[in-house]
Structure 1
Amino acid sequence: MKTRRVTAGVASVLALSLGAAACGGGGDDNDGNGGNGKKDAALTSIVNPSSKKGGTVTYEHSDVPDSLDPGNTYYGWVQNFSRLYGRTLTTFKPAAGKEGLEVVPDLAESLGKSSPDAKTWTYKLRAGVKFQDGTPVTSKDVKYAIERSNFAPEALSNGPTYFKSYLEGGDKYQGPYKDKSAEGIKSIETPDDRTIVFKLKQPFADFDYLATFSQTAPVPKAKDNGAKYVQNIVSSGPYQFQSYEEGRGATLVRNPQWDAKTDPIRKALPDKVTIKFKVNQVTIDNDLLSNKITADAAGTGVAPQTQPKVLAGKNAGQTDSSYAGATQYIALNLKVAPFDNIHCRKAVQWGLDKQSVLDAMGGTPKGDVATTLLPPSVNGYTKFDTYATEGHKGNAAKAKEELKACGKPNGFNTILTARSDRPAEVAQATAVQASLKKIGINVEIKQFPAGKYFSNFAGVPSYVHENKLGMLSMAWGADWPTGYGFLDQIVNGAAIKPSGGNNLMELDDPKINKALTDAIANTDDAARTKAWGEIDKMVLDNASVVPVVYRKNLLLRPQSATNVTVTQAYLGMYDYLLMSSSK
């Protein structure tokens, strides 16, 4: 995901006690001004615990979201944030440390009931859940939410399409905006207002993870107006939108129809939540240091230029260096010359000085040099290095051999993209440019805004081809904590979309596609886990992905932030469902 998830064995998660949904939050009741000064404390505990109601939680973000519509987003921070106003069938437990990786029931009463072959999954909704207008939430509202989010790319193109890929008849259903029938897709059944049944065309052992997606947050059909729904989202959670300004921000206030008796995992302590977009990253860092805001919504850590000041100053004890469960990599587009030639791709693999790139991004606090696509924290990771060089500094001789083999002995020109509001990514691109210049590959850097990066630019094949964007900066974390949850949407040919796509290489290798399909259908946990590492090797052999860094986030928590803990379920950012403020 454009931010998301880390590890825990599938079997152990699915075997959780259904009573494990209580929110982990610590029992201390304080004024929110103490206990906030120990480095990395939020990695394994809840910092500054409080049960005090009231106050305002304030977020800032350096760009804009792809969308705050739960059915039209793929950014992990939005998946995290949207739990304030959208309840999904299941979710990750709001708790510290490893507990935060547990999948627990949310809108549903329990985890899914699976058929023996894992092709049919049934959920029953909790009784008494209402939308903000007082109407009951029904299974039909969940079905409609999935239909609009997976089957209507003409209106909602940002999110993943797992349901479309795995539901029976998913390749034929045209979505609710084109198919006006009352029945909708037949493979989602709603026999009564509280029961929803999913009929899959093949076994899918990870389905409870899929049910955590914001795409399962209910949407009343009568209130939906496609892409414009973001302007009037109907809440099923503890907060509703008081205001929303496109590109500027939003304010959330309490939803009077939310009933804590139907929601055992949310404490909903703040009275108000505000978020402001398009704030310079260094300004955000300074606002955290001066205690003006509660958190940086992006959850990707302070800017490289802020990092030395933070680590050497009095605020070092308010930092959490969190593994993000994500890999920063460069996608080499197979449809843009000369990367349609594997030897040109391998020239980049051998020629890149990865250590210099990590140093430019901020060094060890920002992560470790990557040699695989799967990060070490994801179930299925296998350690290997297909293009091993001494000190990860590249091998110019081997790179030049590959350049000769691809018919470009003197090198070539190409374009590398980066997101303009992400200083670390821009620094990475600059280091890549300097590194590859040494072997004759001349890289021009083009920057794009993060909020539209996938919907308008890097995720739009026609735009990529027309503008000859050969190298595309990318960071990805697992959609859920297994190899499939990490790999499918970025290396499967079925994930290539006209816009909003994440397979930036446009990799469509029949052997890789089949290996993914076969593995997720395998109900043997050990065999499935082994397969993910083997698929990772297949991708690196193809040379279309250049792993750069296993990412870390240097997060900063201000003194006024209460109930602060890192959630590895959402790429190592803070858990926004728990976070409150003493201000």
Structure 2
Amino acid sequence: MRPRLAVAAAGALVVVAALGACSKNTGSNSGSNNDVKAQKGGIGNAAQSKGPAPKVAGAKNGGTIYLVQEQDFEHPDPQRIYVNNAQVFAKLYSRQLTTYVDDGKGNATLVGDLATDPGTDVSGGKCTSWKFTLKDGLKYEDGSDITAADVAYGVARSFSPDLADGPHYIQQWLADDINYNKTYKGPYNGGAAVPPGVKVSGKTITFDFKSPHCDMPFAAAWGTTTPLPKAKDTKTKLDLHPFSSGPYKFESYQRDSKLVLTKNKYWDANTDPLRHAYPDKFEVDMGASGLSQTNRMIADNGNDQYGIMQGNIDPTMVKKVEADSTLQNRIVKGYTQFVWYLAINNNRVKDLKVRQALNYALDKKAYIQAIGGPNIAEAASTLESPTTIGFKKYDAYPFNVAKAKQLLGGKHPQLVYAYANTASGQKYAPVIKNSLEKAGFKIVLKPIDAANFYTEIGKKNNPYDLYKPGWGSDWPSASTIIPPVFDGRNIQAQGNSTYPYFTNADVNSKIDEYNKLDAKDAAPKWAALDQEIMTKYAPVVPFYYDKTYQLVGSKVGGVYLGASSGWPEYTNAFAK
């Protein structure tokens, strides 16, 4: 369940996740940061899983859409994707058993993508056996048929230790073990092409679990279930040319420089409830910094008129963009599902009063102003994002320096704050230091190489007291927020996502109970547990709710903030 990471424009580290509030899904690109509500939509049915996707108002065929970004994708291989920008891009060339369809009103409905429906519980309501039947007419980029056996093989390869970068939900559920590839390690070196617990019969694939997993339809929307014929598996080299099951295919790819997609003529829109293929090409141009991207989108010249910046507007340019009325209809904005925390290492900071004092002392608004203001972030007080189903607003520790000093009782705890050693990390770490020292703390700043930041804080015995990770849901349930970060039974020697290193038997018991419920029934219980964890134990300081604030070119249509990604989506994109 440990997410992979990408560097954001503000110097933070962003994890991939699933549901966020979205802007209207039409030819318009503008959204609203003022409409804060939990994502709705739930699970659809067979009728909603049929194609083609509804036409987009004003859409035209032809042209090229340009994605302008600083870095290459971590992994284009669908089974290895766990970063939201790559997740969104991969929808253009890969399909899964299920997917999300936005209705333009803040609802994202889970439907069948390759499958005829979002999946059927064939265990009599126990959520231990899930069946999916593939649609007719599904084709790869070479015209060959997509089969249920190919889906099973895709799941099988995700067990390989060499391809362990993506989400691990389905693998762990099949193995009934967090160490999912302890015995079965995938199809390489003589391993079976179908993983244990998976059955294939004609167009049908069934997943059998030893424990209930009512969220399987949501997990099936991840790249884990992307189909791949065994003969087309190039293992780690699949990153260089994934085998397309979607409307586009790889034409050329120069790592860290340029990637070009062209149309897959064998893709059938009648099988697809989500995707369109309006542009002739998508081109990804790499190397432009966040500031360069912002300036280029403002200038709106040449190919940039058809461009989509791949990161938030640079913090130094936010006020200029806000003041320019001509840019407002070219902004994609809104809340994402990410929450950033000032994680407190509970192995080292054991005094509850000290952890509570940290919560009262942190000046969140000052930090948010430093990184760009309210269009970039909003002060958080909960573990869940406002976009999470069942979200309940509370604030157990409103900003109060006097209260923090009272809890410290005249003491001056010395704490080490670790941060990613980037230009922005160096710029914003002192903001946190100054804030906490006003309440009496002594803060020692410790830079960590940015590429190894999460590796270092993911070590159980790391020597840091405070650090700032982010987390968001992998689908619309806090079951993908609270257990990965606050279930202490997941703590290992290294590779942890339980960054606060918090563990509590009562909390763990409730996690077990709520994990057996479906997302809707569990939602209010997760929200109550969110508040209980913070009120009783204060293992972290909820820092800020993340927002998207990105520019697109004047000749780009159909781009909207994805409810299933928290990122501008391209399945409706067209060149005006």
Structure 1 CA distance for aligned equivalents of residues 19 and 493 of structure 2 = 25
Structure 1 CA distance for aligned equivalents of residues 270 and 420 of structure 2 = 46
Structure 1 counterpart SS, 2:315: coil
Which of 454, 477, 498 in structure 2 is aligned with 1:458? 454
Answer yes or no: is the 8 Å Cα contact 1:332–1:505 preserved in 2: yes
Which of 12, 20, 26 in structure 2 is aligned with 1:6? 20
1:355 corresponds to which residue?
A: 365
Return the letter of the residue paired with 2:572.
L
Which of 59, 71, 82 in structure 2 is aligned with 1:74? 82
Structure 1 CA distance for aligned equivalents of residues 189 and 72 of structure 2 = 32
Displacement of 1:264 = 4.0
Answer yes or no: is the 8 Å Cα contact 2:558–2:570 preserved in 1: no
Answer yes or no: is the 8 Å Cα contact 2:290–2:312 preserved in 1: no
2:66 corresponds to which residue?
A: 58
Structure 2 CA distance for aligned equivalents of residues 469 and 23 of structure 1 = 52
Alignment of 1:73-112 (within 5 A): 73-99=81-107, 101-112=108-119
1:374 paired with 2:402, answer no
Q: What TM-score do you get using the length of structure 2 for normalisation?
A: 0.84
1:436 corresponds to which residue?
A: 436
Structure 2 counterpart SS, 1:167: helix
Displacement of 1:430 = 3.8
2:195 corresponds to which residue?
A: 185
Which of 554, 557, 560 in structure 2 is aligned with 1:559? 554
* Residues 578 and 12 (structure 1), Cα distance of their counterparts in 2 relative to 1, 3 Å cut: closer
Displacement of 1:547 = 0.8
Answer yes or no: is the 8 Å Cα contact 2:20–2:337 preserved in 1: yes
Structure 2 CA distance for aligned equivalents of residues 568 and 9 of structure 1 = 10
* Residues 236 and 523 (structure 1), Cα distance of their counterparts in 2 relative to 1, 3 Å cut: closer
Displacement of 1:228 = 3.0
Displacement of 1:85 = 0.9
Displacement of 1:482 = 1.7
Structure 1 CA distance for aligned equivalents of residues 503 and 455 of structure 2 = 15
Displacement of 1:15 = 4.6
Alignment of 1:404-443 (within 5 A): 409-418=411-420, 420=422, 428-438=428-438, 439-443=440-444
2:333 corresponds to which residue?
A: 321
Answer yes or no: is the 8 Å Cα contact 1:25–1:578 preserved in 2: no
1:174 corresponds to which residue?
A: 184
The number of residue pairs the alignment matches comes to 536
* Residues 395 and 147 (structure 1), Cα distance of their counterparts in 2 relative to 1, 3 Å cut: farther
Q: What TM-score do you get using the length of structure 1 for normalisation?
A: 0.83
Which of 522, 530, 542 in structure 2 is aligned with 1:536? 530
Answer yes or no: is the 8 Å Cα contact 2:128–2:212 preserved in 1: yes
Displacement of 1:117 = 1.6
Alignment of 1:284-323 (within 5 A): 284-291=293-300, 292-293=303-304, 294-296=306-308, 298=310, 300-313=311-324, 314-323=326-335
* Residues 443 and 147 (structure 1), Cα distance of their counterparts in 2 relative to 1, 3 Å cut: farther
Structure 1 CA distance for aligned equivalents of residues 467 and 359 of structure 2 = 14
Q: CA deviation digits over 1:19-59, x for unaligned, max 9?
A: 3655666554xxxxxxxxxxxxxxxxxxxx31x21111111
Displacement of 1:252 = 1.4
Answer yes or no: is the 8 Å Cα contact 2:102–2:563 preserved in 1: no
* Residues 525 and 260 (structure 1), Cα distance of their counterparts in 2 relative to 1, 3 Å cut: closer
Displacement of 1:551 = 2.0
1:252 corresponds to which residue?
A: 261
Structure 2 runs not aligned, ≥5 long: 1-14, 22-36
Structure 2 CA distance for aligned equivalents of residues 288 and 122 of structure 1 = 46
2:508 corresponds to which residue?
A: 513
Structure 1 counterpart SS, 2:509: helix
Structure 1 counterpart SS, 2:367: helix
1:478 paired with 2:473, answer yes
* Residues 380 and 20 (structure 1), Cα distance of their counterparts in 2 relative to 1, 3 Å cut: same
Displacement of 1:358 = 1.9
* Residues 25 and 112 (structure 1), Cα distance of their counterparts in 2 relative to 1, 3 Å cut: closer
Which of 115, 124, 139 in structure 1 is aligned with 2:148? 139
Answer yes or no: is the 8 Å Cα contact 2:49–2:113 preserved in 1: no
* Residues 565 and 178 (structure 1), Cα distance of their counterparts in 2 relative to 1, 3 Å cut: closer
Structure 2 CA distance for aligned equivalents of residues 497 and 296 of structure 1 = 40
1:162 paired with 2:169, answer yes
Return the letter of the residue paired with 2:230.
K
Answer yes or no: is the 8 Å Cα contact 1:492–1:512 preserved in 2: yes
Displacement of 1:344 = 4.5
1:331 paired with 2:323, answer no
Structure 1 runs not aligned, ≥5 long: 29-48
Displacement of 1:18 = 2.4
* Residues 256 and 430 (structure 1), Cα distance of their counterparts in 2 relative to 1, 3 Å cut: farther
1:239 corresponds to which residue?
A: 248
Displacement of 1:397 = 0.9
* Residues 10 and 315 (structure 1), Cα distance of their counterparts in 2 relative to 1, 3 Å cut: closer
Answer yes or no: is the 8 Å Cα contact 1:6–1:569 preserved in 2: yes
CA RMSD of aligned residues (A): 3.0
Answer yes or no: is the 8 Å Cα contact 1:9–1:482 preserved in 2: no
Structure 1 CA distance for aligned equivalents of residues 186 and 155 of structure 2 = 10
Answer yes or no: is the 8 Å Cα contact 1:168–1:199 preserved in 2: no
Structure 2 counterpart SS, 1:251: strand
* Residues 61 and 445 (structure 1), Cα distance of their counterparts in 2 relative to 1, 3 Å cut: farther
Answer yes or no: is the 8 Å Cα contact 2:135–2:271 preserved in 1: yes
Return the letter of the residue paired with 1:566.
L
Alignment of 1:38-53 (within 5 A): 49-50=58-59, 52-53=60-61
* Residues 295 and 173 (structure 1), Cα distance of their counterparts in 2 relative to 1, 3 Å cut: farther
